[in-house]
Amino acid sequence: MHVIGGQASTALAERISRELGNAPFAIPFVKRFPDGELYVRVGGRLAGEDVVLVQSTRTDQDVVELLLLEDAIREAGARRLTVVVPYFGYARQDRSFYPGEPVSARCMTRHLELSADAVVTVDMHSAATLQSFTKPAFEASGIPAIARLLRERPVDLLVSPDKGGTDRVRRMALLLEKPWMALEKKRIDSDRVELMLPSASPIELEGKHIVIVDDVISTGGTIVEAAKLLRRHKVGATAAACTHGLFLKDAFERIKAVTDDLYSTDTLQNPAEKASVAPDIAQILRKDVAELA
């Protein structure tokens, strides 16, 4: 099995190759023509081989690079191609809200799977998007990676910033054998939210080491408000953890200003990536994807 890492996921791709027993690993040659068009070329002998292509699709450029690399790998004669998309962009628009809108998540699945035999993602926005693939598709979770990291740190309580993350924080709590709670959230506008402790919470917060758990941190508004709320209850320390660290604009700095630490997995390259999903992706490649051959 050969592993190829796109520009958006080079480091994670190399970690996956090591998890697969030091599978052959390569970085494509990428350049831009004077008119801005992207050029890619894959090296090595891929004819008849099973190839894993790793590339998150945070930006439009990432998407185009992924599609070109898929075609290049097929042109090189690969026997099977598994596309790993650690962060699956455009997944939030999973339905048409107004007339004339695309279902962006479904559109992405249709195009990304065209040249692939299987697809692997991590913590997609909606389970329905995974079901829209017509090729075999598998979803890894960022929860085990974060749990492996938190086992080495003091944790007294896990907190979801809203009830929508209840399942996520509960699963994390089971792995770490720690208590958990979900805050109550009222959205004021696209950038502001109001958070409150659950009305029937018997948990004592003072002096506790607390970790706020989320799937995606983008603008960071909810995390900042959650940390401020917990600080007002005199907690001992507050950290935030997520699978996908987008950290748009000054989100990273604003969160760091009100927390004691910030953790993210390596689905996206960011200053908070301290946990790797490589073991979890490699496990799916070894077991689920291998069984398709």
Which pLDDT value is given to residue 92? 85
Specify whether the CB–CB gap between 38 and 67 falls below 8 A: no
CA–centroid distance for 86 within its chain: 5
Which pLDDT value is given to residue 202? 67
DSSP H helix total and E strand total for the chain: 9, 16
Computed over every residue of the chain, the mean pLDDT equals 94
CA distances 203 to 163, 165, 175, 252, 270, Å, are: 17, 18, 20, 29, 33
Specify whether the CB–CB gap between 267 and 86 falls below 8 A: yes
Which pLDDT value is given to residue 248? 95
Using DSSP's 3-state secondary structure scheme, residue 82 falls into: strand
Q: Which two tokens stand for residue 44?
A: 């090595």
Q: Which among 31, 178, 185, 208 is annotated as catalytic? A: 185
Specify whether the CB–CB gap between 45 and 24 falls below 8 A: no
Q: Tokens 């001992």, residue?
A: 236
Q: Provide the residue-wise pLDDT of the chain in tens; the chain has 293 residues.
A: 999 999 999 999 999 999 999 999 999 999 999 999 999 999 989 999 999 999 999 999 999 999 999 999 999 999 999 999 999 999 888 888 899 999 999 999 999 999 999 999 999 987 788 888 999 999 999 999 999 999 999 999 999 999 989 999 999 999 999 999 999 887 777 667 789 998 776 688 999 999 999 999 999 999 999 999 999 999 999 999 999 999 999 999 999 999 999 999 999 999 999 999 999 999 999 998 888 86
Q: Domains in the chain and their CATH numbers?
A: 2-141+277-292 (3.40.50.2020), 144-275 (3.40.50.2020)
CA distance 258 to 267: 24
CA distance 78 to 279: 24
Which pLDDT value is given to residue 290? 82
Catalytic status, residue 185: yes
CA distance 89 to 287: 26
Q: What is the pLDDT of residues 95-105, one digit of tens each?
A: 888 999 999 99
Q: What is the pLDDT of residues 133-163, one digit of tens each?
A: 999 999 999 999 999 999 999 999 999 999 9
Which pLDDT value is given to residue 191? 64
| End-to-end CA gap in the chain | 12
Which pLDDT value is given to residue 117? 96
